[in-house]
Chain A
Amino acid sequence: MIAFFARRVLTVFLPTLLGISILVFGAMRLIPGNFVDVLIGIGPDVGQAQRDEIARSYGLDKPLPIQYLLWLGNTLRGNMGTSLRTGEPVAGEILARLPITLELAGLATLFSLLLAIPAGILAAVRRGGAIDVAIRVIALVGLSVPNFLIGTLLILFVSTKWSVLPTTGFVPISDGLVANLKSLVLPTIALGTLLAASIMRMTRSAVLEELGRDYLTVARAKGLAPRVVVLSHAVRNALVPVITVVGIQTGYLLGGTVIVEQIFAVPGIGRLALDAVSQRDYPLVQGATLFIAAAFVLINLLTDLTYGLVDPRIRVPD
């Protein structure tokens, strides 16, 4: 298991992280114009002495590969520069927003699991019936309706017909847990629907596959109640691959948060990145994209490892 872990980290995780850092670094240097101007932004005019100081601190007089290594070293030590807008360190800005995005992503995952797994099991057990057809149609629609459309429709419905929930605006957890959760209900649904639809499809086909296996025929033949056959035999075995695949999908939630946070005015990392683009706050764009992409790769690594833990066949190199 340790060998498997080390191999994954060395051959996939680290090279991918390195590639991502080169991509993000390179992207910032592709921005048209002098890089010092890019860093200064549209702020007050600065003197030549200050410009030289900035150029020196970023090592702009050195060749690009050296600049990259300097930047990488700084980033690894947690120094991602300062935001052009607020003057605060980029790392601090990101960490301040992190809990909100994590809360939203966690709630969305929970929502989709609670909704999709029972629905998927039900569809599999009632294969071909009306419930199955209904659940499959809902899943197909869920896969086809983008999250910003769901968000817009939710706001429209809640604001005109059912004004129990706040439609936009985020209430921090320090202002009370109930108000905080209430403000995240709609964003959670908008973010979690796509995940729910795909988990539903996966659960259905995984349970169907288990239901066709010989050991289940044996379980039925020895007279076990249908409920026991399905829940404690088929579902338990079917959910192992499903849960691990959920991990990969959770990574995609991180991308979804960018849009959902914007729609519902939730001040998370996604919104931070988007605001940074519109304000041309490049150090912040760089830091936020790097952070989200790294988190995404880390989630994929953890999923891989969980999968290796559960299914020993994965651990053997091919």
Chain B
Amino acid sequence: MGTPADDQALIRGRPSFLRLLARQNTIGLIAGIALVIFVGLAIAAPLVAPGDPVDMSPIDRLQSPSEAGWLGTDVFGRDVLSRILFGARISLCVGVLSVLVAAAIGTMLGLIAGYVGRWQEYLTMRLMDVLFSFPSILLAILIVSIWGAGFRSIIIAIALIQTPVFARIVRGSTLALKHVEFVQASVAAGSSTTRILVRHILPNVAAPILVQLALSMSGAVILEAALSYLGLGAVPPTPSLGSMLSENRIAMELAPWTVLFPGLALGLLVLCINMFGDAIRDLLDPRLRTAMSP
């Protein structure tokens, strides 16, 4: 591992990245495949779901898993499997959207703070400290109390919570790159600050951003589920893996499948994201790679 050819492959193209993952990290690859299946099912939820996720049918409530409904029905007679599929769709949607927003804003702030320095840096980084020192659930509570429960509030909350991590990482890398020769050469050639940041620095901080995207995703999925569990996120009857746990709690002794399956789906989803994120980090973080090689 860590041969020059591998390094070259990492820099050059994505197909070889996958090949590298397959060769070096079997668990990461399995997690990645499971994740692709998860995403595929979530995207195809309207096609593959056997029933309607919100359609209530009081006669059919709390049916145990059978051929008619593989995972049974919940307290309102809704098909549990369908709700899990649509719930996963929402988890992934909220996760991807909020983390992308956080990455975009955080990267921009980090680039400016790291490259421009001066008071812009001090102000940005102190602001990031403040956001960072707020327990995430609490920040979400504040935001929900302003704009009410719902996906808009959740996405804003998760994005705000995740932004400081990206800003810190990008600022650190930018500071290190600022005085490297190829950047200085571009300065000497008269490039504008924007051009230097976008063309020269951004491509070189991409790897740590990618790693953090994967790590932040699991946090975002958990937070969405937690907020929906507390009734601050998904507004009923919208299915969410988190709200399924709290909705069915009153009946779970009688019908354990109503909470066990959504719980299993949530746990597996987060586990896959975590393992895949770890695998990407091991591949892209040169420090860890040298530490691991014999």
Evaluate contact between A293 and B135: CB separation under 8 angstroms: yes
Within 8 A of B (CB), among A1-32: 12, 15-16, 19-20, 23-24, 27, 30-32
Say which residue of A16, A144, A148, A292 sits within 8 Å of B271 (CB atoms): A144
Evaluate contact between A297 and B133: CB separation under 8 angstroms: yes
Q: Interface size on A (CB < 8 Å)?
A: 48
Cα distance A109–B210 in the bound complex, in angstroms: 33
Say which residue of B127, B137, B144, B253 sits within 8 Å of A19 (CB atoms): B127
Evaluate contact between B134 and A277: CB separation under 8 angstroms: no
Chain B's closest residue to A146 (CB) is: B222
A180 to chain B, nearest CB (A): 24
Cα distance A289–B256 in the bound complex, in angstroms: 35
A146 to chain B, nearest CB (A): 5
A244 contacts the other chain (Cβ, under 8 Å)?
no
Cα distance A144–B266 in the bound complex, in angstroms: 9
Collect the chain B residues with CB atoms within 8 Å of residue A15's CB.
126, 129
Evaluate contact between A16 and B253: CB separation under 8 angstroms: no
Evaluate contact between B230 and A16: CB separation under 8 angstroms: no
A145 contacts the other chain (Cβ, under 8 Å)?
yes
Cα distance A31–B222 in the bound complex, in angstroms: 26
B226 contacts the other chain (Cβ, under 8 Å)?
yes
Chain A's closest residue to B264 (CB) is: A149
Evaluate contact between B252 and A296: CB separation under 8 angstroms: no
Evaluate contact between B274 and A156: CB separation under 8 angstroms: no
Cα distance A262–B141 in the bound complex, in angstroms: 14
Say which residue of A12, A159, A255 sits within 8 Å of B137 (CB atoms): A255
Dominant secondary structure at the B interface: helix
Collect the chain B residues with CB atoms within 8 Å of residue A270's CB.
137
Evaluate contact between B129 and A258: CB separation under 8 angstroms: no
Chain B 127-167 per-residue mask, 1 if CB under 8 angstroms from chain A, else 0: 10110011111100111111000000000000000000000
Collect the chain B residues with CB atoms within 8 Å of residue A297's CB.
133
Give chain B's interface residue range (CB within 8 Å of chain A). 35 or more
Say which residue of B129, B137, B145, B245 sits within 8 Å of A27 (CB atoms): B145
B227 to chain A, nearest CB (A): 9
Say which residue of B127, B246, B270 sits within 8 Å of A144 (CB atoms): B270
Evaluate contact between A289 and B129: CB separation under 8 angstroms: no
Evaluate contact between B274 and A143: CB separation under 8 angstroms: yes
B50 contacts the other chain (Cβ, under 8 Å)?
no
Cα distance A100–B76 in the bound complex, in angstroms: 36
Evaluate contact between A159 and B253: CB separation under 8 angstroms: yes
Chain A's closest residue to B273 (CB) is: A144
Question: Given A148-B242, A153-B263, A262-B230, are A277 and B145 neighbors across the interface (CB < 8 Å)?
Answer: yes
Cα distance A156–B263 in the bound complex, in angstroms: 12
B249 contacts the other chain (Cβ, under 8 Å)?
yes
Evaluate contact between B142 and A24: CB separation under 8 angstroms: yes
Evaluate contact between B142 and A27: CB separation under 8 angstroms: yes
A94 contacts the other chain (Cβ, under 8 Å)?
no
Question: Given A144-B274, A289-B142, are A258 and B245 neighbors across the interface (CB < 8 Å)?
Answer: no
A231 contacts the other chain (Cβ, under 8 Å)?
no
A174 contacts the other chain (Cβ, under 8 Å)?
no
Say which residue of A32, A152, A296 sits within 8 Å of B245 (CB atoms): A152
Evaluate contact between B145 and A31: CB separation under 8 angstroms: yes
Evaluate contact between B256 and A152: CB separation under 8 angstroms: no
Cα distance A148–B46 in the bound complex, in angstroms: 28
Chain A 122-162 per-residue mask, 1 if CB under 8 angstroms from chain B, else 0: 00000000000000000011011111110011011001100
Say which residue of B135, B146, B226, B252 sits within 8 Å of A156 (CB atoms): B252
Chain B's closest residue to A141 (CB) is: B271
A195 to chain B, nearest CB (A): 14
Chain B's closest residue to A30 (CB) is: B146
B84 contacts the other chain (Cβ, under 8 Å)?
no
Evaluate contact between A146 and B141: CB separation under 8 angstroms: no
A128 to chain B, nearest CB (A): 14
Evaluate contact between B263 and A149: CB separation under 8 angstroms: yes
Cα distance A27–B145 in the bound complex, in angstroms: 9
Evaluate contact between A258 and B263: CB separation under 8 angstroms: no
Collect the chain B residues with CB atoms within 8 Å of residue A296's CB.
133-135
Cα distance A293–B131 in the bound complex, in angstroms: 10
Chain B 240-278 per-residue mask, 1 if CB under 8 angstroms from chain A, else 0: 001001100100110010011001001100110011000
Cα distance A300–B129 in the bound complex, in angstroms: 12
Chain A 247-288 per-residue mask, 1 if CB under 8 angstroms from chain B, else 0: 000011011101100100000001001100110101001000
7 shortest interchain CB distances as A-B pairs = A255-B135, A19-B130, A144-B271, A144-B270, A255-B137, A27-B142, A146-B222
Chain B residues with a Cβ under 8 A of chain A: 126-127, 129-130, 133-138, 141-146, 218, 222, 225-226, 229-232, 242, 245-246, 249, 252-253, 256, 259-260, 263, 266-267, 270-271, 274-275
> What are 26 A-B residue pairs whose CB atoms fall within 8 Å in the complex?
A16-B129, A16-B130, A19-B127, A19-B129, A144-B218, A144-B271, A144-B274, A147-B226, A148-B245, A149-B267, A152-B249, A152-B252, A152-B259, A152-B263, A153-B260, A160-B253, A160-B256, A251-B135, A254-B135, A258-B135, A259-B137, A259-B229, A270-B137, A274-B141, A277-B144, A285-B145
